[in-house]
A and B are shown apart, each in its own frame.
Chain A
Amino acid sequence: MGKLKMVLLACLLLPVLALGLEPPTDLKLADAPNDDGSIIIITWKPSVSESEPGFAGYNIERSEFPSDSFAMIAWVPKGTDVHEDNTIETMGKSYYYRIAAVTRDSAIALSAIAGPVATTQSWFHAGKLNTLIGTVLFIAITLLYIFWARRGNLFIRRIAGLDAVEEAVGRATEMGKPILYCNGIGWIDSISTVASLNILGQISKKVAEYDTPLLVPTADPVVHAVAREMVKEGYNSAGRPDLFKEDSVYFITSDQMGYAAALAGIMSREKPATNFFMGYYAAESLVLAESGAATGAIQIAGTDQISQLPFFITACDYTLIGEELYAASAYLSKEPLLVGSLKGQDACKLLIILFVLAGTIAAIIFRSDLIYNMFTIQ
Chain B
Amino acid sequence: MKKNVPMAIVFVLGVFFIIQFFIPSRPSQMIFNKAIEWDMVIFVFASVIAVDSLVRHHIIKINRKNKGWGYSIVYLGAALFMVLAAVFSGTREGSFYMKIFNYALAPMQSTMFAILAFYMASASYRAFRAKSTEATMLLISAFIVMIGLIPQGAAVWSGFPKLSEWLMLVPNMAAKRGITFGIGLGITATSLKIILGIERNWMGGQ
Q: Of A122, A132, A221, which is within 8 A of B43 by CB?
A: A221
- In the complex, what residues of A have CB within 8 A of residue B192's CB? 139, 142, 341
- In the complex, what residues of A have CB within 8 A of residue B199's CB? 198, 329, 338
A138 within 8 Å of B (CB atoms): yes
Beta-carbon contact of B198 and A221 below 8 Å? no
A-B residue pair count with CB separations less than 8 angstroms:
200
Beta-carbon contact of A306 and B201 below 8 Å? no
A108 within 8 Å of B (CB atoms): no
Beta-carbon contact of B202 and A258 below 8 Å? no
The residue in chain A whose Cβ has the minimal distance to the Cβ of B203 is A233
Beta-carbon contact of B205 and A233 below 8 Å? yes
Within B73-117, which residues are at the interface with A (CB < 8 Å)? 108-109, 112-113, 115-116
For residue A183, give the distance in angstroms from its CB to the closest CB of chain B: 12
Within A18-41, which residues are at the interface with B (CB < 8 Å)? 34-38
Report if A221-B47 is in contact (Cβ < 8 Å); known contacts: A139-B192, A191-B191, A286-B116: yes
B155 within 8 Å of A (CB atoms): no
Contact string, A132-151, partner B, CB cutoff 8 A, digits 1/0?
A: 10010011001000100000
Report if A122-B179 is in contact (Cβ < 8 Å); known contacts: A287-B119, A315-B126, A326-B187: no
Stretch at the interface among A59-67, A74-82, A165-173, A249-257: A249-257
Interface size class of B (residues with CB under 8 A): 35 or more
For residue A219, give the distance in angstroms from its CB to the closest CB of chain B: 10
- In the complex, what residues of B have CB within 8 A of residue A290's CB? 119, 122-123
Q: Of B43, B112, B124, which is within 8 A of A257 by CB?
A: B112
- In the complex, what residues of A have CB within 8 A of residue B147's CB? none
The residue in chain B whose Cβ has the minimal distance to the Cβ of A33 is B24
Beta-carbon contact of A323 and B186 below 8 Å? yes
Beta-carbon contact of A128 and B201 below 8 Å? no
Beta-carbon contact of A251 and B22 below 8 Å? no
Within B31-67, which residues are at the interface with A (CB < 8 Å)? 39, 42-43, 46-47, 49-51, 53-54, 56-57, 60, 67
Contact string, A233-246, partner B, CB cutoff 8 A, digits 1/0?
A: 11011000000001
Measured between alpha carbons, how far is A189 from B109 in the docked complex, in Å? 25
B194 within 8 Å of A (CB atoms): yes
Beta-carbon contact of B194 and A194 below 8 Å? yes
A206 within 8 Å of B (CB atoms): no
- In the complex, what residues of B have CB within 8 A of residue A189's CB? 39
A260 within 8 Å of B (CB atoms): yes
Beta-carbon contact of A36 and B46 below 8 Å? no
Main secondary structure of the interface of B (DSSP, over half): helix
Contact string, B1-37, partner A, CB cutoff 8 A, digits 1/0?
A: 0000000000000000010011111101100000000
Within B127-155, which residues are at the interface with A (CB < 8 Å)? 127
For residue A118, give the distance in angstroms from its CB to the closest CB of chain B: 15
Measured between alpha carbons, how far is A91 from B26 in the docked complex, in Å? 10
Measured between alpha carbons, how far is A270 from B71 in the docked complex, in Å? 13
Measured between alpha carbons, how far is A325 from B68 in the docked complex, in Å? 33
Within A328-378, which residues are at the interface with B (CB < 8 Å)? 329, 333, 337-338, 341-342, 344-345, 348-349, 352
Contact string, B176-202, partner A, CB cutoff 8 A, digits 1/0?
A: 100111110111111111100011011
B171 within 8 Å of A (CB atoms): no
Report if A247-B60 is in contact (Cβ < 8 Å); known contacts: A201-B204, A338-B199: yes
Beta-carbon contact of A326 and B39 below 8 Å? no
The residue in chain A whose Cβ has the minimal distance to the Cβ of B21 is A128
Measured between alpha carbons, how far is A198 from B35 in the docked complex, in Å? 24
Measured between alpha carbons, how far is A197 from B205 in the docked complex, in Å? 11
Beta-carbon contact of A225 and B204 below 8 Å? no
The residue in chain B whose Cβ has the minimal distance to the Cβ of A202 is B201
- In the complex, what residues of B have CB within 8 A of residue A91's CB? 26
A265 within 8 Å of B (CB atoms): yes
For residue B203, give the distance in angstroms from its CB to the closest CB of chain A: 7
- In the complex, what residues of B have CB within 8 A of residue A122's CB? 24-25
Beta-carbon contact of B68 and A269 below 8 Å? yes
A123 within 8 Å of B (CB atoms): yes
Measured between alpha carbons, how far is A135 from B204 in the docked complex, in Å? 28
Beta-carbon contact of A121 and B126 below 8 Å? no
Contact string, B149-180, partner A, CB cutoff 8 A, digits 1/0?
A: 00000000000000000000000000010011
Beta-carbon contact of B26 and A121 below 8 Å? yes
Measured between alpha carbons, how far is A179 from B147 in the docked complex, in Å? 41
Interface-centre pick from A128, A191, A310 (highest chain B CB count, 10 A): A191
Closest 4 CB pairs of A and B: A233-B204, A326-B186, A323-B182, A221-B50
Q: Other CB < 8 Å A-B pairs besides A225-B46, A258-B112, A314-B123, 5 of them? A: A131-B22, A198-B202, A221-B50, A314-B124, A315-B123
Subset of 18 A-B contacts with CB under 8 Å:
A38-B26, A135-B18, A189-B39, A194-B194, A220-B50, A246-B56, A251-B54, A257-B109, A258-B109, A260-B112, A261-B112, A283-B113, A286-B120, A287-B115, A323-B179, A333-B201, A345-B182, A349-B185
Residues of B within 8 A of A (CB): 18, 21-26, 28-29, 39, 42-43, 46-47, 49-51, 53-54, 56-57, 60, 67-68, 71, 108-109, 112-113, 115-116, 119-120, 122-124, 126-127, 176, 179-183, 185-194, 198-199, 201-206
